[in-house]
Structure 1
Amino acid sequence: MTRRGVAGLVLLAAVVLLAFAGPLVSPWRWDETDFTAFRQGPSARHWLGTTQGGRDVFALVLRGAQKSLLIGLLVAVLSTALAAVVGTVAGYAGGPVDRALMRGADLLLVPPPLLVVAVLAPARGWPVLVPLLAALMWMPAARMVRAATLAAREREHVLAARFAGVGVPRLIVRHVLPQAASLLVADASLTAGVAITAEGGLSYLGLGVRPPDVSLGTVIADGQGAAATWPFGAAAGLLVLIVLAVNLLGDGLRDVLDPLRDAR
């Protein structure tokens, strides 16, 4: 793996470890309120200070990081899986099936994403936000997978497997999808970063994670009174680190899995 990939992996592992192991050593739970400390700076009692509601910033940021990482992972898996299925089926089947699937993907690009999320997500919270974001992100990747499938289905080993009587599902999984592996890995990393950023922005606007739960977006919104406050800086900084780590890791994995990397 490249240096960027290793750096991304190490940074992401550190963030995940901090997010899930940090609460074990924190003196406060994310849902606790200290009625003697409202909007205070860092101290021995509250390591990153408190919010204007008296909640511990360190515990809140770690809870928000857990939720943002979970949402990014789920959206990336769902979106990439959907793109892989639609793209390979459209590219391999061709004809009317190809046209119907691609026209459907084009139609899904028409509705404004923010409007769709604003209508469907607020009353239901993040469990609906995850499939909704995935449904809004798979179309460009599906087109790339379709193009890779169109090229792969005419290769000698694929034609030989088809003439040997290999079933279509097995043929696609074993001989076609590996040709699009680098595309899918790159798309998954990009989608995870975009999903985490989108969730943070939507939660900031009140369209994502709903109270009493928190995400990095809600912590940022809680510290919006002044950009220099600890809630804003800690949550925004961790959000940037997560997105940076995911993108670096995705670049590294793409370089490793790209079958044409040695020819370039």
Structure 2
Amino acid sequence: MTRRTVAGLLLLAAPLALAAAGPALSPWAWDDIDFAAFGAGPSRRHWLGTTQNGRDVFAVTVHALRRSLLIGAAVAALATFLAALVGTAAGFAGGRADRALMWGVDLLVVLPPFLVVAVLAPRTGGALALVAVLAALLWTTTARMVRALTRTLREREYVRAARLGGVSAPRTIVRHVLPQLASLLVVDASLNVGAAIIAESGLAHLGFGVRPPGVSLGTLIADGGTAVLAHPWRFGFPAGLLVVLVVAVHLLADGLRDALDPAAR
């Protein structure tokens, strides 16, 4: 493993460990309310203070971290799957199927992302709808790259031999094309995790993030940002976790690219 991969894994281990063990470390559940401490500062009772609603900041942030990790992983998996599916199908089939699929990709590329979110978000609710919207906006660029590589791989001797031997197109893609694209797809999935978390955090500031009573790092940062000078503990911990998480994911993606792509080395 490269140094970047090791650094990314070590840095990513901290938020992952916190997400796994955090609820057991705090005596407070994320939705518990301390009616004697609304907007209180850090203390023995509440290590990182409380929110304006009396919830423990540490417990709420750990719960939000878990939600953000799930959203990021789900968006990355769905976006990479769509890119691989459409890109390989278009590149391998060619002809009218290729043109039709790429027309759909080009249509999604030119649509303003904020307009899409603004139109769909008020009509959909919940984390699943947010995952679907974010994934729909993140897969198009990778699909074009996958298509270009698939068109090149389609002309390789072993792929031609499989086609002449009567092997079906889906089986040929799975056995001979996708393994050659594995490094690209792994790096793309890693980058999409960070991109999805950042996108969700940005949408939270605009009111299009996770809906109450659910919380994510983005919603906590948006709420804490309104009182960052008066109550910095509400903003600092979730913002710090977001920075660590995104930096770790990008370091890991860069390390994986260097390790899996000989051209990058």
Task: Provide the C-alpha distance between the structure 2 equivalents of 1:33 and 1:17, rounded to a whole number of angstroms.
Answer: 25
What does residue range 119-198 of structure 1 map to in structure 2 within 5 Å?
A: 119-122=119-122, 123-198=124-199
SS of match in other structure, 2:207:
coil
Structure 2 counterpart of 1:25? 25
User: Can you list the C-alpha shifts for 1:111-147, whole angstroms capped at 9, x where unaligned?
Assistant: 2211211221234122101011111111100000011
Deviation for aligned residue 1:179: 1.7
The equivalent of 2:78 in structure 1 is 78
The TM-score, its normalising length taken from structure 2, stands at 0.94
- For 1:4 and 1:231, locate their aligned partners in 2 and report how far apart those are by CA, in whole Å: 31
Q: Please say if 1:92 is aligned against 2:127.
A: no
Measured on the aligned residues, the alpha-carbon RMSD in Å equals 1.5
Post-superposition CA distance 1:7-52 (Å, at most 9, x none): 2122222211101211111111111111111222211111111112
Determine helix, strand or coil for the equivalent of 1:130: helix
Match of 1:121, SS?
helix
- For 1:173-232, what per-residue CA distance to the aligned partner results, in whole angstroms no more than 9, with x for missing partners? 111112221211121111111100011111232211111111111111221233351111
The residue aligned with 1:248 is: 251
Matched with 2:104 is 104
* Number of the residue aligned with 1:14: 14
Runs of at least 5 residues in structure 1 that lack an aligned partner in the other structure: none
CA distance in 1, matches of 2:78, 2:236: 31
- Work out the number of aligned pairs and report it: 262
Given the two structures, how large is their TM-score scaled by the length of structure 1? 0.94
Q: Aligned with 1:214: secondary structure?
A: coil
Q: Which amino acid aligns with 2:157?
A: E
Confirm or deny: 8 A CA contact 1:51 1:222 kept in the other structure.
Answer: no
How far apart are residue 164 of structure 1 and its match? Answer: 2.5
C-alpha separation in 2, matches of 1:135 and 1:25: 37
Q: How far apart are the structure 2 equivalents of 1:4 and 1:103?
A: 37
CA distance in 2, matches of 1:12, 1:151: 35
CA contact (8 A) 1:75 1:131 kept: yes
Q: How many Å separate the matches in 2 of 1:224 and 1:243?
A: 19
Take 1:98 and 1:248, find their aligned partners in 2: how far apart are those partners?
34
Q: Which runs of 5+ in 2 are unaligned?
A: none
Paired amino acid for 2:239: A
Contact 1:71 1:130 (8 Å CA) reproduced: yes
State the partner residue of 1:230: 233
Question: Alpha-carbon deviation of 1:91?
Answer: 0.5
Indicate if the aligned counterparts of 1:181 and 1:258 stay in contact, CA closer than 8 A. no
Point out the more displaced range, 97-106 or 32-41: 32-41
Deviation at 1:160, TM superposition (A): 2.1
Q: Report the 3-state secondary structure (helix = DSSP H, G, I; strand = E; otherwise coil) of the residue aligned with 2:138.
A: coil
Q: CA deviation at 1:259?
A: 5.0
AA partner of residue 205 (structure 2): Y
User: Which whole-Å CA distance do the structure 2 matches of 1:165 and 1:106 have between them?
Assistant: 33
- 2:69 is aligned with 1:69: yes
CA distance in 1, matches of 2:207, 2:30: 19
Contact 1:118 1:207 in 2 (8 A): yes
Tell whether the 8 Å contact from 1:48 to 1:56 is kept in structure 2 after alignment. Answer: yes
